[in-house]
Every structure is written in C-alpha cells, then in structure tokens.
Structure 1
C-alpha cells in the first residue's frame, strides 16, 4: 500500500498514525496522505531502506547497513535534534547495535540523539496501540524537555 500510494505507513491496518496522535505528536489523527503536515510540527519521516516490502524480514542485513549509512549522512546534513527509528530490528541491524532495546539509545547518529521505537505493524502484535503510544510519548516528552 505504501508503494502504491507513496505515503508512509499507508496500509489501513498499520497503527503508526493512531499511535502518533495518541502519543501527542500530532493534534489529530493524520491520514497517510497528510504526511506533509508533519514537517510544520517539527517532524520528518523517511525510511532506513527505501524499498517497499510486505514485511521487514524481506530486507537483508546489507540493505539495512547501507540504509543506515545513507540515513546517517541525511541526519548530518539536516541536523535534527532527535532521530527516532521505528523497529528495533531495523535499528539494531542498520546501526550495528545488536543488543539495543526500545527506548533512548546511548549513542548519537550524525549529532542527533537516538530513540528506538516499536514498529506499528500489525505483525508486532505484542505491542498494543496504547503501549506503543506510551513509548512514543516518552520520546516526545524527552524531546520537548531538550533532554
């Protein structure tokens, strides 16, 4: 669905947009087609690997590492204060952090503080909308405090 529409997290069952709203990042639940409304809120969105797949396990480790290097370059160029990576496996593989856990990371990437967030895919069912929103809100609070 994302590849067909050109919008991130576009599958109707994906929980990203409801979680983003419930966590307080957006004033209302945005539609995937409204992703451009994130930038005025101080939020950007991109991919570690810019290739559409039905499941994250369709991306191999080398693609994640190459994507991590490209994302690092982008972060260095754009200089955000924070980088949130959605999906712990993507983060671990792309940035060579095999023991990383969800939450704030000790390292920085391109000068940005880093937070690994749970993937909102329905395949990640042990995270509910509510528990994901709580984790996303932890990042929002840290970012708003300048922590």
Structure 2
C-alpha cells in the first residue's frame, strides 16, 4: 500500500512504502515544493531531469507526477520537514531531530538503497566529515545501502554530466543487487 505521511506539521508528505528499491532523501522542501505539495518542484531543480537522463525513469516526469515514482519502486523524503528558501537556513537542532526521524523511517520501511540527494544531507545524517559522492563504505541503518549524489538544486554548480553519472551509479547498484 502506498503511504503518504502527512503529519500536520509537514508541508510536504513523504512518498514511501515498504519494499522500495530507492528512497531519495533531500535536505528539506523548497518553498515551491511546500506550496505545491510536490517533491522537487522548484523551477531550477534538476531532480526529474537527472532521473530520466540516468535511466532511472523511462520518461522525464514533472513535479506534479511525483507520485509516479512509487510505480518505479522509488520514494522521496527529506531529513528536515520545514520548508525554506535554501538549506543554509536550517539549524543544527532541526538536523538533530531530523536525523532521528529519518533513522526510524529507514528502519521501518527498509528501502534497498537510501540515495541522499546532497552531500551535505548525508554529512548531517551520518555525521561523517569527508563524504564523497557514490556508494558509502558503511551504512547508518543496517540493511539499507547508503548512496550519495550531489544536490539537484539549481544553486548547485556541479556540471550536469557529473550529476547524471552519479545517478547512473544508483541504477547500476540497483541492477547489481536485484
């Protein structure tokens, strides 16, 4: 059964269900995503383009089709629920609370891969200093593989081909574990 967690204080419901192949984890909802109620809705966000160009989806979805992700075995959540213009506005207290909630979510739903869409997201979650994109040596939650890509935000200046290659790594990892 599909599950949209929409606690009263959540501006953007999680898209999650048991047995997902990949759970994409962002920092927090941007203002547009919170306003529209759809993941990665910011005009300059490259998430949907990255998924398509990496071969994770057969077509380029738009934010209003975000629930289609569940049909492909993917879901989406954030480490922090509060919307903001940028991740720089988030506090250490919010990260601490979000870290614990995310751990419980991963333990409960057990996706095969937790893909952190932002090196900083994983840095804050795992409390690791030198985080590099790609497969992580060990996981925070046993039984869930940790994989890190750079943020899909339009504010990110990492070249698009580098980002696509990182997301292609998610597909390759998924093919290897299935």
CA distance in 2, matches of 1:115, 1:37: 22
Aligned residue in 1 for 2:161:
130
CA distance in 2, matches of 1:30, 1:84: 18
C-alpha deviation, 1:64, in angstroms: 1.6
Quick check: 1:116 aligned with 2:154? no
C-alpha deviation, 1:94, in angstroms: 2.0
C-alpha deviation, 1:47, in angstroms: 0.7
Q: Which segment is superposed worse, 103-112 or 40-49?
A: 103-112
Corresponding residue SS for 2:165: helix
CA distance in 1, matches of 2:162, 2:43: 19
Q: Which segment is superposed worse, 94-103 or 24-33?
A: 94-103
Structure 2: 5+ residue stretches without partners: 1-31
Match of 1:77 among 108, 122, 127: 108
Superposition CA RMSD, Å: 1.3
Aligned residue in 2 for 1:89:
120
Aligned residue in 1 for 2:98:
67
Corresponding residue SS for 1:84: strand
Aligned residue in 1 for 2:58:
27
Counterparts of residues 1-80 of structure 1 (less than 5 Å): 1-80=32-111
C-alpha deviation, 1:106, in angstroms: 1.4
Corresponding residue SS for 1:45: strand
Query: Contact 1:66–1:94 at 8 Å: present in 2 too?
Result: no
Q: How many residues align?
A: 146
Structure 1: 5+ residue stretches without partners: none
CA distance in 2, matches of 1:98, 1:129: 24
Aligned residue in 1 for 2:138:
107
CA distance in 2, matches of 1:143, 1:109: 18
Quick check: 1:142 aligned with 2:141? no
The two structures have a TM-score, normalised by structure 2, of: 0.78
